[in-house]
Amino acid sequence: MSSIRIAEVLNYRDSLPPIVTVSHVQVLLSSPTAVEREIVELVHRGAMRKVIIGGRGGHGEALILVKDLENMIEKSNLKASFKEEFKKSLQQNPTALNFSRSRFTDEDAQALIHAGFLTSSTTNYTATDHFSRLGDGSRGTLTSLNSISKAASGSLEAIGGEGVVHASGGSGGGAQLAGNGDFSLSLPATGQFLKLLSNARLHLVFLLSKSKFREAPESLLRQRWDGGIEADDGASAAKMSRGEFSGVLPGKTRKWKHYYGISFEWILAECVGAGLVEVFDTRSVGRGIRAL
C-alpha cells in the first residue's frame, strides 16, 4: 500500500473507540455464564463499563475499560472543569446506563451530546419532529421556519443556526433536549465502529455462501477473506526468490480497501459470537466453518 493509504488506515483505526462487543468476549471463553458473571463483577468494581446501543441488534452491547473511557473524555472538547465533573459522575454510578435529564444542565447536556457521550433514550421523539413542528427554535433546538425565512442568504441563521446538525440527530450522536426521556451513555464514533463491524460480518457470510451447502474449510475461507494474497509458506517464498508473484497486492483487496485490515480471526470470532456461523471439525482438512 502507498504511504497515503497506510496513513488513512491508521488514522481510521485511531478514530474508532477502544471497545469490544460482549458476543466477541463470550467466544473467547468456554462458559458464557462465567463471562457474564465476570463482566458484572468488573463493572461493579469500576474497572469496566458497559454501553448499550439501542436498535443495533445483537452487537448493541459493548464494553470499554474505564481508563480508556476517561482518556476519551480528556481528549474531548469539553471544558476542563466539566471533564472532571463528568468523570466523577460516572465513577459514582459505575453500572448506570441512563442518566436523568435533571442531572445535567441544558448547556452541559448539549456539550456531551456534541462530544458523543450522551444520546437521547426517548423512543417516541425523533429528529423529524423538528421539521414537522413550527417554533422548535424557541426550545433551543432548530430555528423555526419563520425565522429561517427572514434570515440573510448565506448566513448560519438561514440553515438553522450553529449546531443544527447535532440538534437534529446527526454527526456525533445527536440527541435532542426536547422530550421527556432520559439520556443514555454513549461513546464517540460508536456508530462508525458498528457500521464497520456489521458490513464485515455480512461480507464474511457472503464469502461462505459461495461454497456448496454454505460451508468451507477454515483455510479456504481465510484465503477468501485475505483476498488471495501471497501466503507465508515455503512455496510462496520460492516464487518470491525467483521474482515471481502470483498473488494480489494487499492494498487492492476488499479486506484493506473497505474493512481497513480486519483480521480473519477477529471477524470470525465476531460472527461466531453473533450466531451467524459455527465452527466444526471436518476430521480430514482441519476446522470447517458453516453458515447458520
Cell of 158: 438561514
> Average pLDDT over the chain, rounded to whole?
79
Torsional class of 107: left (φ above 0), alpha (ψ -120 to 50), beta (otherwise): alpha
Torsional class of 145: left (φ above 0), alpha (ψ -120 to 50), beta (otherwise): alpha
Q: Are residues 169 and 138 in the same domain?
A: yes
pLDDT for 240: 64
Return d(Cα 201, Cα 262) in angstroms, integer: 11
Q: Are residues 177 and 205 in the same domain?
A: no
Domain of 180? 3-189
- Nearest Cα to 24, choosing from 35, 9, 8, 13? 35
% of the chain at pLDDT higher than 90:
41
Q: How many residues appear in the chain?
A: 292
Q: Are residues 202 and 180 in the same domain?
A: no
Q: How distant, in Å, are the alpha carbons of 50, 63, 208, 287 from that of 273?
A: 17, 15, 16, 17
Note the pLDDT tens digit of each residue in 169-205: 454 444 445 455 688 899 999 888 989 999 999 999 9
Cell of 35: 463471562
Q: Are residues 112 and 217 in the same domain?
A: no
Q: How distant, in Å, are the alpha carbons of 63, 96, 174, 258 from that of 100?
A: 22, 10, 17, 39
Higher-confidence residue of 11 and 227: namely 11
Tell which of 189, 224, 253 closes a domain. 189
pLDDT for 61: 84
DSSP string over 76-126 = SSS-HHHHHHHHHHHHH-TT-SEE-GGGS-HHHHHHHHHHTSEEE--SS--
Cell of 133: 413542528
Q: pLDDT band for position 158 (50/70/90)?
A: low
Return the SS3 of 166: helix
Q: Are residues 166 and 245 in the same domain?
A: no
User: What b/e string do you get for 165-181 counting C-beta neighbours within 10 Å, with b at 16 or more?
Assistant: ebbbbeebbbbbbbbeb
pTM, two decimals, is 0.71
Return d(Cα 100, Cα 121) in angstroms, integer: 10
Q: Are residues 185 and 224 in the same domain?
A: no
Q: What is the mean pLDDT of residues 204-209?
A: 94
Q: What residue has cell string 453458515?
A: 291
Tell which of 156, 189, 222 closes a domain. 189
Note the pLDDT tens digit of each residue in 245-260: 656 777 788 898 899 9
Q: What is the mean pLDDT of residues 80-104?
A: 90
pLDDT for 126: 41
Q: Are residues 11 and 112 in the same domain?
A: yes
Q: Are residues 18 and 140 in the same domain?
A: yes
CATH number at residue 206: 1.10.10
pLDDT for 71: 94
pLDDT for 154: 55
Note the pLDDT tens digit of each residue in 47-76: 999 998 765 544 578 999 999 999 999 999
Rounded (10°) angle between helices 218-226 and 190-209: 120
Q: Are residues 152 and 225 in the same domain?
A: no
Question: Which residues share a beta bridge with 216?
Answer: 289
Tell which of 131, 162, 189 closes a domain. 189
Q: Are residues 275 and 141 in the same domain?
A: no
Q: What is the rounded (10 degree) CA torsion for 202, 205, 211, 214? A: -130
Q: Are residues 170 and 224 in the same domain?
A: no
Query: What's the structural domain count of the chain?
Result: 2
Q: Are residues 51 and 159 in the same domain?
A: yes
Note the pLDDT tens digit of each residue in 211-239: 989 999 999 999 999 886 655 556 666 76
